[in-house]
Structure 1
């Protein structure tokens, strides 16, 4: 698969990605350069330029790989079995209880060590 990807990529992919970065940087510069215009218009313009930059980036092999990865990740998230509200509350209570228990044990251990140190040092 790596050999195939290396064969598919070309100098044009680099140009496309560079163009996308230049578009995005130019959009950000224009956003701050055109302060006298409405914030709404500047944000809409930045969103349009960002959309164009993403469209250009998706035309490259690297862009398609990122898009495929995002689609596969979304599919994996859909396969996750999320805990119910009751399971979440129970797990949270167990974690709080264990934190409290460990805190008390460490506090007692600290008090014992402090008493030992005080008895040794006078």
Structure 2
């Protein structure tokens, strides 16, 4: 992460206009997808319509202030992800086995506690009240 503090930046009018345009393009793609389905167009044409609308709306949104900040965040996330030390296959298998064993032991323990409490409540306490 950067050590410098992020300053809160407002969204300008041009950014809002571009974001509205991106939403309108996406909505037009959805309307086109639905319209093409109603007139019996083939599935590939409908798929291309919606994909084109998504790509164009993302491209428009990417050049706004929030879009630039999102791209910057994603690039920093990728950089940080490269620093992660992933476990080996053997470590993963061993840890998975430990987790499964702990889950089984705890489920048996909770089942035993439930059985004891059920016996105490239903068999002893409710029979004493009768």
Q: How many residues align?
A: 119
Of residues 11-20 and 109-118 in structure 1, the stretch that sits farther from structure 2 once superposed is 109-118
* Equivalent of residue 19 in structure 2, options 17, 20, 28: 17
What is the CA distance between 1:112 and its match in structure 2? 3.3
Say if 2:93 is the partner of 1:96.
no
**1:68-107 map, 5 Å:** 68-107=72-111
2:7 aligned partner: 2
TM-score normalized by the length of structure 1 = 0.83
Say if 2:70 is the partner of 1:66.
yes
Per-residue Cα deviation, 1:76-120 (whole angstroms, up to 9, x for no partner): 222211111111111111111111111222233333334444244
2:43 aligned partner: 39
Indicate the structure whose relative CO is greater, using CA pairs within 8 Å and at least 6 residues apart.
Answer: 1
Unaligned runs of 5+ in 1: none
* Equivalent of residue 29 in structure 2, options 24, 27, 30: 27
User: After TM superposition, which residue ranges in structure 1, 4 or more long, deviate above 4 angstroms?
Assistant: none
Distance between the aligned counterparts of 1:26 and 1:62, measured in 2? 22
Higher helix content, 1 or 2: 1
Unaligned runs of 5+ in 2: 1-5
